């Protein structure tokens, strides 16, 4: 079915007049008659009947007119929705993030973003860095925000966003709590509580320590930063976490933070997305938001 012919038919059916339809469509009356006749020929049935000088819809014409109205109404709705997507009034944002940015940073940034675009649908999935990358490669996420350890894959685009400082944390009752700093040798003598393999913090730390010709001996492995913080508060050992993740505990006096004098522990927080994925306007706008508000957040 030719939709141009259907549009002409709809105009004639609405006005029950070839001449009025021609005026509405800014075409000649013969053009209207020809296109209606072509539509009738394609369908093999009459759509109009003429009694005297007036035309009326046949039963088939009434059925088609009802469908034509629905079709062009849906087309108008589709155009409106697409234009709203382009204008950022609507859209969907599917994000993945590793633990530190996913728990301690992105909720705040999403909140300020949704103040500007309240009709946006969104989801945020928090896991370790490697899992986020796997989801991006499987086209399950629009983009991800992860720690420094990125698997080299030609299908991934990796753009650094911020620098995140890692710090040693100890319980307030720990003998090291009042020092403010320690040496790597002192750290390696402690009972270490770390995240599972696959987490960015763990891999950055292992790589840095290995670069010093040393190895880590992990006493306790936990799968969340919150569990690690509770274990450190209970003085079960010491850990290395993002400075962002312990701000409230430091302020409340439940934990103390120390720097390693002879080892710099800074990692990059990266934006990651699929090289072949066409990012929607709302995803691009959120990335801009990450680059502006996010940097303010990290540097406050």
The confidence score (pLDDT) of residue 278 equals 82
The confidence score (pLDDT) of residue 149 equals 59
Q: What angle do CA 90, 95, 100 make, to 5 degrees?
A: 135
Distance CA 112, CA 117 (A): 9
pLDDT digits (tens, 9 = 90+) for 143-166: 999 976 566 688 999 988 888 889
Distance CA 229, CA 250 (A): 11
Report which of 133, 147, 93 is spatially closest to residue 267, judged by C-alpha positions: 147
Report how far apart, in Å, the C-alpha atoms of 22 and of each of 29, 31, 70, 101, 244 are: 5, 8, 22, 61, 68
Phi, psi of 8 (to 5 degrees): -65, -45
pLDDT digits (tens, 9 = 90+) for 8-62: 999 999 999 999 999 989 999 999 999 999 999 999 999 999 898 899 999 999 9
The confidence score (pLDDT) of residue 62 equals 94
Beta-bridge partner residues of 51: 54
**pTM for this entry:** 0.65
Distance CA 88, CA 2 (A): 33
The confidence score (pLDDT) of residue 215 equals 85
The confidence score (pLDDT) of residue 202 equals 85
The confidence score (pLDDT) of residue 199 equals 79
**What are the structural domains of the chain?**
3-86 (1.10.10.10), 92-162+268-299 (3.40.190.10), 165-267 (3.40.190.10)
**Mean pLDDT, 10 residues at a time, over the chain (300 residues)?**
91 93 92 94 93 92 93 79 68 88 90 88 89 90 82 84 90 90 91 86 86 88 92 95 90 92 88 88 88 60
The confidence score (pLDDT) of residue 150 equals 63
The confidence score (pLDDT) of residue 196 equals 85
The confidence score (pLDDT) of residue 145 equals 93
């Amino acid at each position: 079915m030719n939709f141009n012919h259907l549009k002409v038919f709809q105009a004639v059916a609405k006005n029950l007049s070839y001449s009025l339809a021609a005026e509405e469509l800014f075409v000649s009356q013969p053009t209207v008659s020809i296109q209606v006749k072509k539509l009738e020929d394609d369908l093999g049935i009459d759509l109009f009947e003429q009694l005297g000088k007036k035309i009326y819809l046949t039963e088939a014409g009434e059925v088609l007119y009802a469908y034509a109205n629905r079709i062009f109404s849906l087309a108008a709705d589709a155009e409106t929705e697409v234009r709203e997507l382009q204008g950022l009034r609507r859209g969907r944002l599917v994000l993945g993030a590793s633990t530190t940015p996913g728990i301690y940073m992105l909720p705040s940034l999403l909140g300020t973003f949704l103040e500007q675009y309240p009709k946006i649908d969104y989801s945020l999935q928090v896991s370790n860095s490697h899992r986020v990358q796997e989801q991006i490669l499987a086209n399950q996420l629009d983009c991800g925000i992860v720690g420094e350890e990125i698997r080299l894959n030609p299908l991934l685009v990796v753009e650094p966003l911020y620098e995140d400082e890692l710090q040693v944390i100890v319980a307030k009752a720990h003998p090291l709590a009042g020092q403010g700093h320690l040496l790597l040798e002192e750290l390696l003598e402690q009972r270490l509580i770390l995240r599972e393999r696959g987490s960015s913090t763990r891999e950055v730390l292992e790589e840095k320590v290995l670069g010093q010709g040393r190895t880590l001996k992990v006493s306790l492995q936990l799968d969340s930063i919150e569990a690690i913080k509770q274990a450190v508060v209970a003085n079960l050992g010491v850990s290395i976490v993002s400075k962002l993740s312990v701000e409230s505990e430091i302020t409340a006096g439940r934990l103390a933070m120390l720097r390693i004098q002879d080892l710099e522990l800074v990692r990059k927080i990266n934006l990651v997305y699929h090289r072949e994925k066409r990012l929607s306007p709302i995803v691009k706008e959120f990335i801009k938001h990450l680059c502006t508000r996010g940097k303010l957040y990290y540097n406050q």
